[in-house]
Amino acid sequence: MIINLMKQNKVNFKRIYGTSSTIANNVRFDSRFIAKHDVFVCIQGDNHDGHAFIEDSIAQGASIIVGTDEELLKSYYRQYEDCTFLVVEDARLAMAQMAVLLSDEAWKKLVTVAVTGTNGKTTVAAYVRSLLNQLQLRTTSIGTCGIITSKEKINFFKSTPTTPESADLHVLFKQLAMEGEKAVVMEATSIALDQKRTASMTFDVAIHTNLSPEHLEFHGTMENYKRAKMKLFEQAATAIVNIDDEGMAQDILDTYQGKLLTYSLKRNSGADLIASNIHTDALGIQFELYTNGSSYTIHAPIYGEYNVANLLAAIGTAMQLGFDLEEIVDVLATIESPEGRFEVIEQYGGRKIILDYAHTPAALDQLLTAVNAIPHRRLIVMILGVGIRDFGKMPKMAETIEGRADEIVVSVDHPGHHDPKIIIDAVCKGFTDRVHNVSTAKTRAEAVCLALDLSEEGDIVLLTGGQINGAQFVRGKAIPHSDHAIIRSYFEEQHAEKVQPTIS
């Protein structure tokens, strides 16, 4: 499209070198993907400064270069007067603003919902997507499990594991709007919010789940971590807040200026939505929903009290979007959970295999409480250290599991550039000397098989953590990984060994 940078009011800049009116197609921050008439934004990454790739992007046809180094951009303009060089204060903000401009503000054509919190983002996003689709609002979810439209999971390259970079996000919004989707629910991580990936737009609903220590390898302190998450509520028309959370609920209540709904699992909390009298059976959970002086008996195919809280967040979202509560309650019995979030697999050898992403001590604690409520003979649990996350929480995973499982397998998720043994040792430091039921494995694949080896009929095998977008991140590469495929292969091999004919 042809844009005039002097006449538009979407992209803030300090100075332009070159023509202000030019053709611009897509926003890129990786020079390897530049095509003719693309915009290249010089982003400062962990290992590289985008300003070092200006010449490469011009050679590949970029029409606009956006950066913060004015002297450098001015010098390039003297060499390449056919290009436009845009000097900005904040390259990430400019990238988001340019992405909005070139997508023709596609986000405004969609109902937009964002979920932030340490735990529960993926589950809440899945519940919102499922609920809104059942209420006939075609909804896509964006997050750790990939991009799932109202019809199917789609292939869309995401530059980051959970929340896409703004350049990708607005291309996706435009594609979804063109394909007839009416709403999007997305996970908004603290890092994404800090890096302005969702900047320059307003969400119809912002959802808060909880706050506990996480991503301190990036943020440094809990205060910085919370401050990053709070940014979501500066760009939201309405909000849903878990008032049971001591981490940041009160901060939102004290500062948020828009229409707000609260939810709680405490009967006397005074929240707008309260779940009480929670009971678990083989088919899921039953509870009483109290709101606006009325009560409703809810049956839902979910497990764990924490998932009742996540379901309340989804109910509140539908209410904020104007749906009738009676209509909402009618479809909760068929709510769909995300893959790998308290996912129960029961077709193998009379045992329950449960997959759940729990990768923080707080999430693991809640998960163990929920799992132990299900009748079983023995409990085998796999816990992991995450190599691309904060090492400080690893011993706490061991402290959380100690004394609560019959067998414990310790392994590694996403070792990154670390030796798996260092990560395993970091986890195991949290065990006391009296623990003797711990086994270790250097890869997640080996750990899954080891946990299955330790199990028998009537047991529960709980596999925590999980691959991100179907991969394990090892030394900068995404190595394809699927727990489902490993489990299936394990039992197929066992079956083959049993039926192998005896040769005499």
Q: Give CA–CA dist 296/304, Å, rounded.
A: 19
How far apart CA 229 and CA 94 sit, in angstroms, is 21
Give pLDDT, residue 120: 93
How many whole angstroms separate alpha carbon 73 and alpha carbon 52? 11
Q: What integer pLDDT is reported at residue 144 of this predicted model?
A: 87
Above 90 in pLDDT, residue 9? Answer: no
386-432 per-position pLDDT tens digit: 887 778 889 999 999 999 999 999 999 989 889 999 999 999 999 99
The predicted-structure confidence for 88-97, as pLDDT tens digits, reads as follows: 999 999 999 9
Dump pLDDT digits (tens) for 224-275: 999 999 999 999 999 999 999 999 999 999 999 999 999 999 999 999 999 9
Can you state the angle between helices 91-102 and 166-178, rounded to 10 degrees?
20
Q: Is the pLDDT of residue 160 over 90?
A: no
Q: Is the pLDDT of residue 207 over 60?
A: yes
Work out the percent of the chain whose per-residue pLDDT is above 70. Answer: 98
For the ranges 34-38, 248-252, 468-472, the lowest mean pLDDT is seen at 468-472
Residue 188 has pLDDT above 70, yes or no: yes
Q: What residues have CB less than 8 Å from 299, skipping those under 6 apart?
A: 283, 284, 285, 286, 332, 333
pLDDT above 70 (res 119): yes
pLDDT band at 319 (very low <50, low <70, confident <90, very high): very high
Tokens of 393: 């929480």
Q: Which pLDDT does position 359 carry in this prediction?
A: 86
Work out the angle at residue 399's Cα, subtended by the Cα atoms of residues 394 and 403, and round it to the nearest 5 degrees.
140
Average pLDDT over residues 317-330: 97
User: Which is higher by pLDDT, 282 or 255?
Assistant: 255
pLDDT at 47: 80
Q: Which residues contact 118 (CB under 8 A, 6 or more apart)?
A: 209, 210, 211, 212, 213, 214, 247, 360, 362, 363
Mean predicted lDDT score pLDDT of the chain: 93
Rounded CA separation 121/123 (Å): 6
Residue whose token pair is 């039926």: 499
Confidence at residue 156, expressed as pLDDT on a 0 to 100 scale: 78
Q: Place 471 in a pLDDT band, splitting at 50, 70 and 90.
A: confident
Q: Specify whether the CB–CB gap between 50 and 67 falls below 8 A.
A: yes
Q: Which residues contact 441 (CB under 8 A, 6 or more apart)?
A: 409, 410, 411, 447, 449, 450
Q: pLDDT higher for 161 or 145?
A: 145
Confidence of residue 215 (pLDDT cuts 50, 70, 90): confident
Convert the pLDDT of each residue in 360-392 to its tens digit: 898 999 999 999 988 899 999 999 998 877 788
pLDDT at residue number 469? 65
Tell me if 139 sits within 8 A of 204, measured CB to CB.
Answer: no
Alpha helices in 142-286 (DSSP H): 166-178, 190-194, 216-219, 222-230, 249-255
Q: How far is CA 412 from CA 31, 117, 297, 303, 353, in A?
A: 33, 23, 41, 26, 19
Residue by residue, what is the 3-state secondary structure of 301-336?
Answer: CCCCHHHHHHHHHHHHHHHHCCCCHHHHHHHHHHCC
Q: Is the pLDDT of residue 502 over 60?
A: no
For the segment 453-476, the average pLDDT, to the nearest whole number, is 87
Cα(253)–Cα(262) distance, rounded to whole angstroms? 9
Find out whether 342 and 354 touch, Cβ atoms under 8 Å. yes
Percent of the chain at pLDDT exceeding 90: 79
User: pLDDT for 39-62, tens place per residue?
Assistant: 999 999 878 899 999 999 999 999
Longest Cα pair distance anywhere in the chain, in angstroms? 88
Degrees, nearest 5: CA angle 247-252-255: 135
What is the token pair recorded at 488? 């299936």
Strand order in the sheet with 460-464: 343-345, 352-356, 460-464, 379-386, 407-413, 438-440
- Domains in the chain, start-ordered, CATH in brackets? 2-91 (3.40.1390.10), 106-334 (3.40.1190.10), 343-496 (3.90.190.20)
Residue 332 and residue 292 in contact, taking contact as beta carbons nearer than 8 Å: no
What is the Cα–Cα distance from 463 to 176, expressed in whole angstroms? 34
- pLDDT for position 470: 79
pLDDT over 60 (residue 503): no
- In this predicted structure, which of 69-73, 123-127, 374-378, 465-469 has the lowest mean pLDDT? 465-469
Q: Which of 206-210, 385-389, 462-466 has the lowest mean pLDDT?
A: 385-389
Of 384, 373, 500, whose CA–CA distance to 438 is shortest?
384
The lowest-confidence range among 99-108, 205-214, 494-503 is 494-503
